[in-house]
Structure 1
Amino acid sequence: MTPQSGTELGTALSHLVLAVVSLHAAVCTAQASRGAAAGFLLQALAAATMLAPGLGTDEDRLTGAWVATVISLPLLAFDFHWVNGDRSSANLMLAGGMVLAVAGDHLGAEGRSVAGQAVVLVVSVTILIVAVFTANTYGMWGGMMLGAAGLLSRLETDRLLLLPKEDICRWALAAGSWAYCRALHTHHLHWE
């Protein structure tokens, strides 16, 4: 096995894990939280399309991943804020994500990169704040993992701990998605 094929295998595995975790989270939250389920489903679809070699160009897949980021993460934040009673922040997060998704063609590649990273950081910080005030441990872990993915994506290096930076970000995003799913489940059990 050459180093290049090992890297490709690791990248495919990180996409697969993110897709499976996100799909599982979508199924688990579908009854109680349709917005979060839609967000998880968008994440799963974006990760799965990166695995399929014949589905459009690389640019199409990257654009799809960007749109999934600026819509799916605000959907997760919307639902998390909504179920915790913060309606104005929920609506603001969702509206901001929709505006970014529509304005994406006007931003250029660098603008989309900055906007996507900003969405990740804003969503993670707001969910972390709500989780701290509501003592939702899974929400805190989800916020930290998503924040870590956002901060790691800003680093100038291409590799971290001998792995491609993007793979580590996907692993952190998968861990954060699992924690958000648990956080929503815990919240719904608490209020039933």
Structure 2
Amino acid sequence: MAPCVTEWVTSCTNLILSATALHSSYRLFKDHRAPSVGLFLLGLSAALCIVHPSGSYLTSIQKEAEWAGEVLAPALVSFDFLWLSEDHNTAHILLCGSCLLLGLCDWLSADALTVMTRCLGLSSLSCCLTVCLFAGNALGALSGVALSLPLLVAPKVGAITFAPLISPAAAEGLVKWLLKGSMAVGCWASTRALSMFLLDVTDRCNMGI
């Protein structure tokens, strides 16, 4: 795949993710502050990745911002599901764990950071699925899976043999595009799911259940 085409598709996927995440953040801000912040950071990092500066320092900032957005978005969405279900202790543990990972990332080795990132991704996903499956909220489960995929998928796509159908570099780019599309779907689904879940909780409270 030509470099110019690859760069163009990457910019388009980042643009779609940024627009979807920022719109979802705006819609959630009134009633769901934690997920709104997470999706805002995800959208902001995607917008930052649209620009391709030549300086390596700015490129490293882009990568760190992208990673931070991918870590916080699913964790804060799961935090709100837990909070609305009144499991405040687990919600606080998940929030503290995600913040601790962000604070310690510079002191961890690459392998340790990968392990800790995947552990946090699994924790966020399991919390979201547990709450949503018991509540019958299919969109919430979809949002948890879609937002957590980038934390769970192995980054070393080039190690897999795709020849002669596709080069390792193109395969890695394809996986990144699919993951960004998955996160865009997760942003949309989380907005609908959290609104439905809040309405369900409010109805239960009004009925005295």
Query: TM-score, normalised to structure 1's length?
Result: 0.87
Q: Percent identity?
A: 24
**Count of aligned pairs:** 190
1:106 corresponds to which residue? Answer: 107
Matched, 1:138 2:132: no
Say which is worse superposed, 20-29 or 56-65, in terms of deviation.
56-65
2:96 corresponds to which residue? Answer: 95
Tell me the C-alpha RMSD between the 2 structures: 2.3
Q: Residue 150 of structure 1: CA displacement?
A: 3.8
Question: Highest CA radius of gyration, 1 or 2?
Answer: 2
2:87 corresponds to which residue? Answer: 86
Render the CA deviation track for 1:137-177: whole Å, top value 9, x for unaligned.
Answer: 111211232344444x2164246996521111111111112
Of 167, 170, 188, 2:177 maps to 167
2:35 corresponds to which residue? Answer: 36
Gaps of 5+ in 2: 159-167, 203-209
Partners of 1:12 and 1:116 in 2: how far apart?
25
Render the CA deviation track for 1:107-142: whole Å, top value 9, x for unaligned.
Answer: 134433333333223212220111000111111211
| Kept after mapping to 2: 8 A contact 1:121/1:146 | no
1:127 corresponds to which residue? Answer: 128
1:157 corresponds to which residue? Answer: 157
Partners of 2:47 and 2:114 in 1: how far apart?
20
Partners of 1:64 and 1:155 in 2: how far apart?
17
Partners of 1:119 and 1:94 in 2: how far apart?
10
CA 1:17–1:117: 2 relative to 1, 3 Å: farther
| Kept after mapping to 2: 8 A contact 1:47/1:65 | yes
Q: Residue 84 of structure 1: CA displacement?
A: 1.7
CA 1:143–1:75: 2 relative to 1, 3 Å: closer
Query: TM-score, normalised to structure 2's length?
Result: 0.81
Partners of 2:76 and 2:145 in 1: how far apart?
18
Q: Tell me the SS of whatever aligns to 2:157.
A: coil
Gaps of 5+ in 1: none
Partners of 1:99 and 1:187 in 2: how far apart?
28
